[in-house]
């Protein structure tokens, strides 16, 4: 039951859109929120240490804002011990 390139992305997006606290972020917004470069974001996704993007089209991906915020919170907690 994976998303595949376009699999259940529409249903996933519809679910997120029903919850207004979950915004969809484009790459520039993710870079701004995290302070990470594009290459670092994609490297960490490949390592499994950063939230995976959701494909919306052949050349469009987004991240769920709450996933990014949770990742930031985890980084801060880990740094503060």
Structural domain boundaries in the chain: 9-80
In this structure, are residues 51 and 67 in contact, taking their beta carbons and an 8 Å threshold? yes
Q: What is the pLDDT of residue 81?
A: 84
Q: What is the pLDDT of residue 1?
A: 43
Per CATH, which fold does 9-80 belong to?
Recoverin; domain 1 (1.10.238)
Q: What is the pLDDT of residue 22?
A: 81
Q: How many angstroms separate the CA atoms of 58 and 77, rounded?
A: 36
pTM (predicted TM-score): 0.74
Q: How many angstroms separate the CA atoms of 42 and 23, rounded?
A: 20
Q: What is the pLDDT of residue 21?
A: 63
pLDDT in tens, the chain (81 residues): 444 555 566 776 666 666 556 899 999 999 999 999 999 999 999 999 999 999 999 999 999 999 999 999 999 999 998
């Amino acid at each position: 039951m994976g998303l595949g390139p376009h699999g259940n992305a529409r249903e996933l997006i519809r679910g997120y859109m029903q919850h207004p606290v979950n915004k969809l972020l484009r790459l520039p917004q993710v870079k701004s929120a995290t302070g990470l470069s594009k290459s670092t974001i994609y490297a960490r996704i490949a390592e499994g240490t950063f939230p995976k993007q959701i494909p919306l089209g052949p050349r469009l991906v987004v991240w769920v804002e709450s996933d990014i915020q949770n990742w930031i919170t985890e980084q801060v907690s880990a740094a503060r011990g």
